Amino acid sequence: MGISLPDLIPQVQVNIPFGFLVEEYLDRFLSGGLNPEIGLDAVSLERYPRSLFQKVARSFQKAARRITLHAPFQDLLPGALDEFIRNASRRRLHQAFQLLSVFRPESIVCHPGYEARHYQHDRKEWLRCSAATWKEFTRIAADQGVRVMLENVYETDPLLFLDLLEQVNAPNLGVCLDVGHLSAFGGGNFPLWLETLGPVIGQLHLHDNHGDDDTHLALGAGEIPLAEVLNYLAKLGPPPLITLEPHQEGSLQPSLEHLAQIWPWG
């Protein structure tokens, strides 16, 4: 079907770590009409004062931009069986969730952090611990009118997400399907993941690769069946939140152009 670039840009998010945003890219986002998905990594949460987060948030809100957030994830195990580790992960997540009232985002993306090689023999207990964490954070997010989206990284079984969503039982909890992670780490069975999770996919992370590594290539530069993913979801209804993750300088424009060509929604 396709769409023009001016019509596409307001409909998608572009991922940017907070540190990069304030040090270099804020003016480019504002002048380019881009909606940000702001990465709140541990370094940014420790380094920058709340007043700077407020200033950046006001800049985007004044420009009537839609904001999404990405919670910290590196080193975190919010479903850890070890209570000490689980609580440390929750404390870091709390730092990010305290900024929901500042940014007023549509969603905040989080990583459940499940890896079968660690937890395959303790799956039931991991689900219990993880569900307790996300029950807490979905309540916090619900008070701000924010959806929590759980993103796949090393997970290989989409049923894990259904089981987790069922145990949490929160209306503002959904799945962020990262197509690059599914290709590089999750086995690449797109039909299975789409058929299993389609109705609960509330967000997409789009980037490309050749299935061998999480290279974050521009859309169309790898082998991910992007058009098939979008066409499947278009049959289910309006587009979910869609975030581009351009990790190389110069990859945003070709990604936007490719997405515009395969955009299936009218």
Which residue type does 53 have? F
Write the CA distances from 33 to 21, 56, 231, 258, 263, integer angstroms. Answer: 14, 15, 26, 18, 19
Percentage, residues of the chain above pLDDT 90 = 98
5-262 maps to which CATH number?
Answer: 3.20.20.150
pLDDT in tens, 185-218: 999 999 999 999 999 999 999 999 999 999 999 9
Could you state, in order of their start, the residue ranges of all structural domains in the chain? 5-262
For residue 141, what pLDDT is reported?
A: 98
For residue 101, what pLDDT is reported?
A: 98
- Confidence (pTM): 0.97
Interior angle at CA 57, CA 50 and CA 206, nearest 5: 115
Best CA proximity match to 172, nearest among 140, 132, 138, 207: 138
Calculate the average pLDDT of the chain: 97
pLDDT in tens, 72-113: 999 999 999 999 999 999 999 999 999 999 999 999 999 999
Question: For residues 225 and 238, what is the distance between their CA atoms, to the nearest angstrom?
Answer: 19
Q: What residues contact 107, with CB distance under 8 A and at least 6 apart?
A: 68, 69, 146, 147, 148, 149, 176, 202, 203, 241
For residue 133, what pLDDT is reported?
A: 98
Tokens 């009218």 belong to residue:
266
For residue 266, what pLDDT is reported?
A: 83
How much is the average pLDDT of 108-122? Answer: 96
How much is the average pLDDT of 212-226? Answer: 96
pLDDT(153) > 90: yes
Question: For residues 88 and 94, what is the distance between their CA atoms, to the nearest angstrom?
Answer: 10
For residue 54, what pLDDT is reported?
A: 98
